[in-house]
A and B are shown apart, each in its own frame.
Chain A
Amino acid sequence: MLDQKDLRPKDMGRSDEQLIKLDNLIPLLAPYDKPGMESPLTDPKPAWKEKYCTSLDGYIGIDTLTRPKTKEEEDEFVRKFLSGLEKIFSDANNGVLQPLLLSFEYCAKCNTCSDACHIYTAAGNNELYRPIYRSEVLRKIVKKYFTTSGKLLGGFVGADIDVNWETIARLGELAYRCNLCRRCAQTCPLGLDNAILTKEIRKIFSQEMGIAPTPLHTKGTMLQIKTGSSTGLSKPAFLDTLEFLEEDTEEKFGIKLKFPVDKKGADILVLHNAGEFMAWPENPVAFAILFDAAGLNWTLSSEIMGYDSVNYGLWYDDVQAKKIATMQMKVAKDFGVKRLVVAECGHAHKASMITADRMGTDRLPVESCLPLLWDMVKSKRLILDPSKNNFPVTLHDPCNVVRQMGIVEPQRNVLKAICPQFREMTPHGVDNYCCGGGSGFAIMNSANFPEFRTQVASRVKFNQILGAFKGTMEDTSTPKYICAPCSNCKGAMRGLLEHYDATEKYNLQYGGLVELMVNALVSLKKPFLEFLE
């Protein structure tokens, strides 16, 4: 095992059982700065070492990446990777060729991007997670196999890496130590984007080698294409869930709620992340209450692909992303609505409005729920009482919605209007850090990966939260609310608060934006937020 400080890109092919060990995480802020407030990081189980690739940093992100049993399998693995690597520079990859080549060719290795990365920072400036480390490994392999200069000049141009099963498997794992948040790209003086290269590695593994984390692929996009939702929620189960939520809402709040489903003549089709119905049903309920109160002509769809906005393909597989985006758009168009509104799910925002924007023509207009929600508040279509939300609130900026779409102000304007104790975290807006759950991390729960997510990837976010609530944390009678208008971000928050027992110990709460809005409705007789009861 190497000291991370000595790690070089060409070390990826070394035969060490584990390349580095994480041992120098940045300290957490008060009240988590005391000894014993955090469990130590664990070593991978011996059985995992035999089966999976734990030889990078001990964590397993790709549960389908298993060790070969024969030399032939090992060679075939390397051959397939190289075949996929060649293809990312071919016309099979036209949709990303120009940005890829630019980021591949021009890195000046000035290292300006490193400090922008929350994972590199959280891990105590660990060399393995430096944004250019992974990119440089990829460059070395490409140079070695696919460039004339690399073949002729070898190490002089950087083609000095041993390529074996370990190199490739480690690179695959390393592609899942980046949240694809693109914060590093914001700082690059040449406008280059390491996240493009990271995603290309993930794509080679999936599109060429058929290897991707189960929650993203088999239980993600494949399940969604088959059943209509990555949750596996069938149409009857979806309708049952809505019925249950209607009854529950009436029982709890005395509101006779009726979800409009497949309503003919509706203007708006609302697309939720179906995970909300299972994990945070109060979110779609809050949407329904608000949209009804504002008098919008809206509906949900019960058609396959019509009631789940997610598109995990965005994180690892362009082909899957396109299949899902195309199917979702077809359902919406067949339905006959005038527009689609994406509810609080960050990657679904980006998938349907940015990524899918150039996947076909004659598309229905798609918009974010956030400007619509602000419009309801601004136009006073909702009668709200901010004093109902008189507790500290901070806002997390989902990377997909904010940094990658430029939707920054509407959600802040809502919070400023309805939360008297709203405070920004530092930094915020387009400069905010990822929650640590981005690019699939939030749903990747195999083996020891949650430990990496919670204690490393989400670490900077946790410090941002602790910083935003400084001075109020010890007051356990006061709830502190992290507003995270994104399902994946909420998943990361849930993991974070559970791991640090922060709700129990410090009354740290999390949820979306619409829950706060409904809580502030004058017409609501009792608090919508359970922790206020």
Chain B
Amino acid sequence: MILSIIAYLSIVLFLGISVYKAYQFAGMPFHGRMDLYPVPKEKGYEHGGSYYEETAWWSKPHEVSHMREIIEMLKEIIFIKKLFENQRPFWWISYALHLGIYLIMAWTILLVIGAMFELNGILVAADSSSILGLLVFYLSIVTGYIGLALGALGSGMLFLRRAFDNTLKKYTTPQEYFNLLLIFVALITGIFTWGNDLSFGYAREVTGNLVTFTPFVADGLLTLHVVLVGIMLTYIPISKMSHYVGKYFTFHKVLWDNNPNLKGSGVEQQVKNAASFRPTTSWSAPHIKPPVAPEK
């Protein structure tokens, strides 16, 4: 029962804190422009161009492709494109971790689906007569095996690389080693917990019990694994590993935001709103401080 609460609570906290962080960033004050080209939505994306390449640009429609922006975002999210292009050796291990995490997320969802199927009488096994049962069975195996292996390998390799690379270790704080180690240990305990049953039948059974708050006997390793995953899920969004939240804003709201302040535009309204704000703090340099009134 306690493990069920940990499982539910950590997922709720993971999602809740992540959403709260996004909400906080979204609610931050309107900022100045910091566009950096190429900007994917621009017509001249291929050469890094913008609407400023046109004469009298303000009188012409700003042609943008949101689809291209979404595609570029997806390339970044799914493949970590910039790291692939600019630092290939690091990409291999970083991508192993990230792909591992994506697959483990998919595997977790498949375990829940599989558990639900079994509770409803659909067999999830190699000899299942249900196509859906077979599909979930094999997909769980593929995502589980590869996800756990890549995730553990990636986090372990990243830890080692940071520890032994002369440059990286100068910039890595103990907390950053801890972050990687936490993921690594959570995944390794997972491998030992679920590894005894390569069909993941045991994992599905435990998942079913957790999801339905059904009491069951958990050994020490399983308990440790669930607790560690719970800590990891709660810790990730409060640490800088929540860059999955920040990344949307850095690209979409900073580097790729080049909407001009034209009359009647939404930007104009935001500029007006920002201009009416009176800061509570002020700078102190002599050229900024208002002149002191002369003594009478």
Give the residues in chain A near B38, CB-CB below 8 Å: 406, 430
State whether the Cβ of A21 lies closer than 8 Å to any Cβ in chain B.
no
A354 to B37, CA, bound (A): 13
Identify which of residues 174-197 in chain B touch chain A, using a CB-to-CB cut-off of 8 Å.
174-176, 178
Interface size on B, residues (CB 8 A): 81
Provide the B25-61 mask, 1 if CB < 8 A to any CB of A, else 0.
1001111111111110010100111111111111100
Asked if A188 meets B32 with Cβ closer than 8 Å, knowing A102-B246, A430-B37, the reply is: no
A358 touches B30 (CB 8 A): yes
Give the residues in chain A near B54, CB-CB below 8 Å: 371
Q: Of A5, A101, A110, A430, which is within 8 A of B48 by CB?
A: A430
B52 touches A406 (CB 8 A): yes
Asked if A365 meets B58 with Cβ closer than 8 Å, knowing A355-B32, A406-B48, the reply is: yes
Provide the B252-275 mask, 1 if CB < 8 A to any CB of A, else 0.
011100101101000110111011
Closest to B285 in A: A210
Asked if A111 meets B167 with Cβ closer than 8 Å, knowing A98-B253, A189-B80, the reply is: yes
Give the residues in chain A near B267, CB-CB below 8 Å: 358
Provide the A1-29 mask, 1 if CB < 8 A to any CB of B, else 0.
00001011100000000000000000000
A402 touches B48 (CB 8 A): yes
B52 touches A94 (CB 8 A): no
Give the residues in chain B near A403, CB-CB below 8 Å: 36-37, 48
B254 touches A98 (CB 8 A): yes
A92 touches B83 (CB 8 A): no
Q: Which of A158, A206, A320, A407 has the most CB of B within 10 A?
A: A407
A193 touches B34 (CB 8 A): yes
A95 to B52, CA, bound (A): 23
B28 touches A92 (CB 8 A): no
A372 touches B55 (CB 8 A): yes
Shortest CB–CB separation between residue B75 and chain A, in angstroms? 11
State whether the Cβ of A191 lies closer than 8 Å to any Cβ in chain B.
yes
State whether the Cβ of B281 lies closer than 8 Å to any Cβ in chain A.
yes
Give the residues in chain A near B247, CB-CB below 8 Å: 106, 190-191
State whether the Cβ of A41 lies closer than 8 Å to any Cβ in chain B.
no
Give the residues in chain B near A371, CB-CB below 8 Å: 52-55, 57
Provide the A364-376 mask, 1 if CB < 8 A to any CB of B, else 0.
0101101110010
Q: Which of B12-20, B86-94, B218-226 is the contact stretch?
A: B86-94
State whether the Cβ of A410 lies closer than 8 Å to any Cβ in chain B.
yes
Q: Which of A95, A108, A136 has the most CB of B within 10 A?
A: A108
A207 to B83, CA, bound (A): 36
B53 touches A407 (CB 8 A): yes
Give the residues in chain B near A92, CB-CB below 8 Å: 279, 281-283
A109 touches B55 (CB 8 A): no
Give the residues in chain B near A361, CB-CB below 8 Å: 261, 263, 268, 271-272, 275
> Known contacts A111-B90, A367-B56; can you find 16 more A-B pairs with CB under 8 A?
A102-B249, A106-B246, A127-B170, A158-B173, A189-B80, A189-B83, A191-B254, A191-B255, A193-B254, A355-B32, A358-B32, A358-B271, A365-B59, A404-B36, A429-B47, A431-B48
Listed in ascending order, the chain B residues whose CB lies under 8 Å from chain A are 25, 28-39, 42, 44, 47-59, 76, 80-83, 85-87, 90, 94, 166-168, 170-176, 178, 240, 243, 246-247, 249-251, 253-255, 258, 260-261, 263, 267-268, 270-272, 274-275, 277, 279-288
In the complex, the 8 A-B pairs of residues with the closest C-beta atoms, listed nearest first: A406-B50, A191-B250, A430-B48, A158-B173, A94-B29, A210-B285, A92-B281, A98-B28
Listed in ascending order, the chain A residues whose CB lies under 8 Å from chain B are 5, 7-9, 80, 83-84, 87, 90-92, 94-99, 101-103, 105-112, 115-116, 127, 130, 132, 136, 153, 155-158, 182, 185-193, 196, 206-210, 217, 222, 319-320, 339, 353-355, 357-363, 365, 367-368, 370-372, 375, 402-410, 429-431
